[in-house]
Amino acid sequence: MSTGINQILKLMLQRLTEKVARLNSIQHSGGKVVAEDWAELYQLENEARAILETASQPTAKPRVLILVKGGVADYVCDDGIDVEIFDRDNYEVDPEETGGVPRHYADLATPIDVPVNEGAREALTEYNLSSAK
């Protein structure tokens, strides 16, 4: 469930809880629940059903668009996506300088024979990437 839906759900549930508490108080004090209170309660119920329907829809798949021009790859992606580009041509020319991909890509890299960085090389690659920003 997305953060936006979580926030909307939280606010709606808070209003629903307050309304039920008010109706409970009226009922237990011998008062009558007026039509406006019932109408608001039904409205909150409908909002809850709509939120549940939205939350049950499949979420969109994360997206990555890769552009390759003149042998140079660049990408744009949705927030929160971890992207790694491996240049096999550069690796074949200078494997020591190019290195492999980070270890958390091992399950993706192994089937297509992409080398995976280990130990000190992994730390060096992460340092180089973070200092290049």
Per-residue pLDDT of the chain (133 residues; tens, 9 = 90+): 455 667 777 788 888 888 888 888 888 898 888 888 888 888 888 888 887 777 777 777 888 999 989 888 999 988 888 999 999 999 999 999 999 999 999 999 999 999 999 865 554 455 455 444 4
pLDDT at 133: 45
Positions of E strands within 33-87? 64-69, 72-77
Burial state string for 16-44 with b = 16 or more CB within 10 A and e = fewer than 16: beebeeebeeeeeeeeeeeeeeeeebeeb
Give the separation between CA 70 and CA 87, rounded to whole angstroms: 13
Domain boundaries of the chain, sorted by first residue: 3-55, 64-132
The two counts, helices (H) then strands (E), for the chain are 6, 2
Cβ of 133: how many Cβ atoms within 10 Å? 4
Instruction: Quote the pLDDT of residue 53.
Output: 79
